[in-house]
């Protein structure tokens, strides 16, 4: 069952909502944050047939957008439930809402949309779609009793039935007020009620009865499972009858209706027509009773939806007109392109996007990241109108700049000094920072650059040589430490090295270093690790132990600006190597001074993981470590 349906503007105002079961606002908030802003979870494109979905806290969220109006239509329901008609509902509601209130939405300098009257429209849609899913799914009806039998026989050990159990449970849950425990009880009073209603041939009653039958056909299952096992192996119809006889007070009535339902189930194919007739009939009745509103609404609703769909189709077929039409269209399109005010379609953008992708690839952005950026820009632009006097290219450019800024800007601030002081104040343990990366990217160099930066701020730094693999690694760090000691003598601050030679376990050395630092009053520990190839499972697996034992406050990964497409895989593998619950905290991109404006690696790595770039290495000296400047990087990439 649908829990909540909301219509939200991109500026965050809920225009209209219908709540069946209250859902915390944080579900939709995190959908907006993670999908729309941070793009952490990529939705599949709408062409794949179904609407994109997002899962959070046991809820499934499905949404669709009306880009030009800045609307998001969100449907939230429990993940346990499979609602097949949600896509259709979203589409219909979008068409309805845009058709009814599109003009109001376009007024500038106002967020008010007077849509109190949308409720009935929505309710009709819901009823209709739910009804359709009920009546148009005789197949499901057949499977339900089948599976209930399966469930019965599952008591004697049929593992396949276990797979079918969850959806069925869900059905029970959704049929509202009945908890599983009560099902046998509730089925008794509801069934007679449904007889009466069915006798009156009212649609709601009929629907109800069908649902109840479903419920009933399921609910005897737990009851009958206590019965003799022999009955279960018989045909379902006979078994049905028997259970009903045992349960229901009015056996005859129950049998009759049951028979009816059975036939309903058996010849599912001709049944829909019959059902349609009943529907028609009941429309008449409703109107006779004086509920004209519903019928009016229905017609109006269909008209609006059709109009919207026709508009869409027209837009789609407009391109494929006659010769005169197409040439006129071409001229118009050209004019529009110059003047602006053109509604962008996929075809319009394709060429420019291709060029943009090529441009990004030339800037050393990995193909995967470039494609994704272009897709995100396309999602952003399709359905938009270009502003006056702007071409598609310039619109695309600004949109790409926006996308780049968004992807590179960190969500939280990355103030290393503040974090260190916060950690040192809150506990006696030193702040532990460790550095990982593939071979030869400059782990030790960047480590000593960070050490230099911290020494300038008068921290007491311990460098742990946990690279016990490559010969000369410890000596290299020792030289760095000697230099840094020399430099820090004037500035203040203190630095030392913690080493245990070669061949030992890196994780243990790191843990020892932290203990040593705590005892000797160092407040920062920097751990250097051995370089490892990111696709070597054996080497990467030791990182998990390392993460657990040393428990660093921050794990930074060093990546070269020189590396191309491989950067995506590097970032991804390292990010995944620390086991569940631990991720990288940031990247250091080294050697950026050697690539000029081809700084695409930054984008590739951030794209792959959503983890921000913290520092850039820009030269050979200890002082050549820089913070990221998003504006400059974006400009370099777009130049």
Partner 1 sequence: MAWYDEDSWLTQALSPKPSTILITFAIAILLPILLHSFLYRKAATATGLPTFLLVGPSGGGKTAFTTLTERGTVPTTHTSTAPLQIEALLPDPHVPASSHYRSPGDPAFERSRRFIIHDTPGHGKLRNYATSTLADPKNVRGIVFVVDAAAIDEEAGLNEAAEYLHDVLLSLQKRYTNAKTSKGPKEIPVLIAANKMDLFTALPASAVKTKLEKAISAVRNNRAKALRDAGAKLTGEDDVDEEKEWLGEGGEGSFEFDQMREIGTTVDVIGGNVSQGKNAGDVAGWWSWMGEHL
d(CA 175, CA 189): 14
d(CA 432, CA 386): 50
Other C-beta atoms lying within 10 Å of the C-beta of residue 231? 13
Task: Report yes or no: 571 and 608 within 8 Å, Cβ to Cβ.
Answer: yes
Residue 52 carries which DSSP code? -
In this structure, what token pair is assigned to residue 254?
């129950």
Ramachandran area for residue 104 (φ above 0: left; ψ -120 to 50: alpha; else beta): alpha
Give the CA-trace dihedral at 574, 579, 585, 588, to 10 degrees.
Answer: -20
d(CA 62, CA 74): 6
In this structure, what token pair is assigned to residue 497?
């090295």
User: Would the CA dihedral through 257, 262, 263, 265 be positive or negative?
Assistant: positive
Task: Report yes or no: 147 and 164 within 8 Å, Cβ to Cβ.
Answer: yes
d(CA 271, CA 278): 11
Scanning 43-182, the segments in alpha helix (DSSP H) are 86-106, 118-135, 138-154, 159-174
SS3 of residue 309 by DSSP: helix
Please state the φ and ψ torsions of residue 501, each to the nearest 5 degrees: 80, -165
Q: Which of 224, 39, 226 is nearest to 148 (CA)?
A: 224
Interface with partner 1 by CB under 8 A: which residues?
8-15, 17, 25, 28-29, 32-33, 36-38, 70, 108-112, 388, 402, 405-406, 409-413, 415-418, 422, 453, 456-457, 592-593, 597, 599, 615-616, 618-619, 624-629, 631-633, 635-636
Longest dimension (CA), the chain: 101
User: First vs last Cα of the chain: how many Å apart?
Assistant: 51
Judged by CB, which is closer to partner 1: 352, or 634?
634
d(CA 621, CA 497): 20
Residue 48 carries which DSSP code? G
Q: Which residue has the tokens 């026709």?
A: 310
Q: Which of 42, 41, 89 is nearest to 64 (CA)?
A: 89
d(CA 238, CA 448): 81
């Amino acid at each position: 069952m649908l829990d909540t349906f909301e219509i939200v503007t991109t500026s965050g105002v809920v225009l209209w909502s219908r709540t069946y079961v209250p859902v915390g606002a944080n579900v939709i908030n995190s959908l907006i944050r993670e999908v729309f802003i941070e793009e952490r979870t990529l939705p599949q494109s709408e062409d794949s047939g179904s609407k994109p979905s997002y899962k959070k806290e046991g809820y499934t969220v499905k949404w669709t957008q009306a880009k030009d109006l800045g609307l998001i239509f969100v449907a939230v329901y429990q993940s346990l439930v499979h609602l097949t008609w949600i896509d259709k509902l979203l589409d219909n509601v979008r068409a309805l809402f845009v058709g009814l209130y599109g003009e109001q939405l376009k007024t500038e300098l106002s967020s008010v949309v007077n849509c109190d009257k949308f409720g009935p429209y929505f309710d009709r849609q819901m009823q209709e779609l739910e009804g359709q899913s009920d009546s148009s799914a005789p197949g499901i009806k057949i499977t339900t009793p089948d599976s209930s039998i399966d469930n019965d026989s599952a008591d004697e050990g049929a593992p396949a039935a276990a797979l079918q159990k969850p959806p069925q449970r869900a059905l029970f849950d959704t049929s509202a007020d009945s908890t599983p425990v009560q099902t046998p009880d509730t089925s008794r009073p509801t069934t007679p009620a449904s007889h009466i209603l069915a006798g009156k041939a009212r649609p709601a009653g009929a629907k109800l009865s069908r649902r109840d039958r479903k419920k009933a056909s399921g609910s005897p299952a737990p009851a009958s499972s206590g019965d003799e096992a022999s009955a279960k192996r018989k045909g379902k119809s006979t078994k049905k009858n028997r259970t009903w006889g045992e349960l229901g007070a009015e056996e005859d009535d129950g049998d009759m209706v049951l028979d009816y339902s059975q036939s309903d189930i058996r010849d599912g194919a001709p049944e829909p027509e019959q059902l349609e007739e009943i529907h028609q009939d009941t429309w008449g009745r409703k109107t006779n009773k004086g509920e004209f509103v519903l019928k009016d609404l229905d017609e109006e609703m269909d008209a609006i939806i059709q109009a919207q769909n026709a508009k869409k189709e027209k837009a789609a077929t407009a391109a494929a007109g006659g010769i005169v039409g197409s040439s006129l269209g071409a001229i118009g399109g050209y004019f529009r392109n110059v003047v602006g005010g053109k509604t962008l379609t996929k075809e319009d953008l394709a060429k420019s996007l291709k060029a943009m992708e090529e441009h990004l690839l030339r800037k050393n952005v990995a193909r995967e990241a470039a494609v994704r950026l272009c897709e995100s820009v396309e999602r952003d632009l399709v359905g938009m109108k270009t502003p006056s006097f702007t071409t598609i290219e310039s619109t695309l450019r600004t949109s790409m700049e926006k996308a780049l800024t968004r992807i590179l800007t960190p969500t939280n601030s990355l103030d290393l000094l503040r974090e260190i002081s916060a950690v040192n104040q809150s506990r006696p343990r030193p702040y532990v920072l460790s550095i990982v990366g593939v071979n030869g990217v400059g782990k030790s160099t960047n480590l000593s650059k960070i050490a230099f930066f911290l020494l300038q701020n008068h921290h007491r730094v311990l460098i742990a040589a946990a690279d016990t693999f490559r010969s000369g690694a410890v000596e290299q760090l020792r030289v760095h430490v000697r230099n840094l000691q020399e430099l820090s003598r004037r500035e203040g601050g203190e630095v030392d090295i913690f080493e245990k030679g070669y061949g030992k376990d890196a994780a243990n050395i790191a843990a020892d270093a932290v203990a040593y630092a705590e005892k000797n009053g160092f407040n920062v520990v920097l751990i250097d690790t051995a370089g490892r190839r990111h696709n070597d499972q054996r080497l990467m697996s030791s990182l998990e132990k390392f993460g657990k034992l040393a428990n660093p406050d921050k794990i930074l990964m060093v990546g070269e600006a020189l590396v191309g497409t491989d950067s995506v895989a590097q970032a991804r593998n390292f990010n995944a190597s620390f086991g569940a619950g631990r991720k990288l905290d940031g990247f250091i991109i080294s050697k950026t001074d050697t690539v000029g404006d081809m700084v695409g690696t930054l984008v590739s790595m951030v794209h792959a993981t959503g983890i921000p770039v913290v520092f850039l290495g820009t030269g050979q000296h200890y002082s050549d470590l820089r913070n990221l400047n998003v504006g400059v990087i974006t400009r370099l990439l777009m130049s």
